[in-house]
Structure 1
Amino acid sequence: MQQALVVVDMVSTYDFEDGEAVARAARERLDAMAGRIAEAREKDLPVVYVNDHYDRWDGSRERLIEWVLDTTPHADLVRPLLPEPDDAFIVKARHSIFYETPLGYFLNSRELDTLTLVGQVTEQCILYSALDAHVRHFGIRVAVDACVPLDEELGRAALQMMERNMGAELV
């Protein structure tokens, strides 16, 4: 098993419907997310960021990160989770980390076959990404303490679906 940690949508402005609720939930899980990232780096596992692009198509992660930090009132949620220079950073336009992104090619070219997902939102981007990983035959692990739900009840239901329907390991 060759694993990667995938950080989903944590470079965020939180400027969207329900953004304040997501920011509150992210604050509760910030230490766990930072811990998962640090643990992956200690184990020398690839850390891959897949993030919304906010209609910024210039292809520069540095400019995207700078713009997010300059525009969000929640920079304190973003800074502790920023990618390091050697981390992969892939932009996405929709909910799934795979939808029209080069992520599948990236993972296959490095013979990575198991993904541990952390990030936001559990019942949206995490769920859709887990389904897309499943249909592509990747092993799925979901770090429950490091995934941010919009709604706690729907988040739990999404975790159950990932475990039952996609064989995801909840860690």
Structure 2
Amino acid sequence: MDTKNADLHGNAPDSSPVALLIIDMINDLEFPGGDELLEPASRIADRISELKQRAKEQSIPIIYANDNFGKWRSDFNEVVEHVLTDGVKGKYLAEVLKPDKDDYFVLKPKNSAFYETTLDMLLTYLQVKHVVITGLSTDSCVLFSANDAYMRDLKISIPADCVASINPAHTDDALAYMKRVLSADISPSAEVDLASLRQELASVD
């Protein structure tokens, strides 16, 4: 008997071979190094917003994976509200990338978007084969999440202009590693053809 509900009890009605993952971009930046990260984070927020809009046009699901800032009783809406209204450094990020009602989200306790979250199950129900990973920081949470995606046999794109870290050299090193070891496509976001990618993967079943 099939014990798996086809749509995750009505909570995952979409089906797409591609998903856009936005990591830690709803971020107050109120930590050591936050000042240095503000400019590159703001820059990639604009690029991610453009990529998100293109994904929406292709009915590609958007998934936010965000730290809980150590507040174990918080939920994602509280995190968004905090960044938007509490006068923090990262306000611009939340303004540009404020989640839409039909976006998905997971709160993560550690670096990887997969560790102790529902992301793995969500991707399974959405029938995702390829994740486009964006966000902060390239050499930490993006890297750990990409490693876990690779271990799950997912294809990976990490647009180089949609990820950042405090030290640009660390971003370059991490991108080179993910391209070499994880076979990640690190082409800039303008070169990511979401429509073709979706069509190509949909025909592979």
TM-score by shorter chain over 0.5: yes
Tell me, in whole angstroms, the C-alpha distance in 2 between the residues paired with 1:156 and 1:65. Answer: 29
Deviation (angstroms), 1:49: 0.3
Q: Which residue of 2 is the match for residue 116 of structure 1? A: 132
**What is the aligned partner in structure 2 of residue 150 from structure 1?**
166
From 63, 73, 79, the equivalent of 2:95 is 79
CA contact (8 A) 1:120 1:126 kept: yes
Q: Deviations over 1:59-115 (max 9, x none)?
A: 532222112222313312221101101100100011111111110011011111110
Q: Could you tell me which residue of structure 1 aligns to residue 51 of structure 2?
A: 36
Q: Residue by residue, what CA displacement relative to the aligned partner does 1:23-55 show, whole Å, maximum 9, x if unpaired?
A: 121122232111111111111100000000112
Aligned to 1:54: 69
The TM-score with structure 2 as length reference comes to 0.79
Q: Is the 8 A contact 1:56 1:64 kept in 2?
A: no
* Residues 1:134 and 2:136 aligned together: no
Distance 1:105 1:29 in 2: 28
Contact kept in structure 2, 1:122 and 1:150, CA below 8 Å? no
Identity of aligned residues (%): 28
Inter-partner Cα distance in structure 1 for 2:78 and 2:90: 17
Count of aligned positions: 171
Which structure is higher in strand share? 1
Gaps of 5+ in 2: 1-15, 188-205
Q: How far apart in 2 are the matches of 1:57 and 1:85?
A: 23
Counterpart residue number, 1:27: 42
Misfit runs of 4+, over 4 Å = none
SS in 1 for 2:160: strand
TM-score (norm 1): 0.94
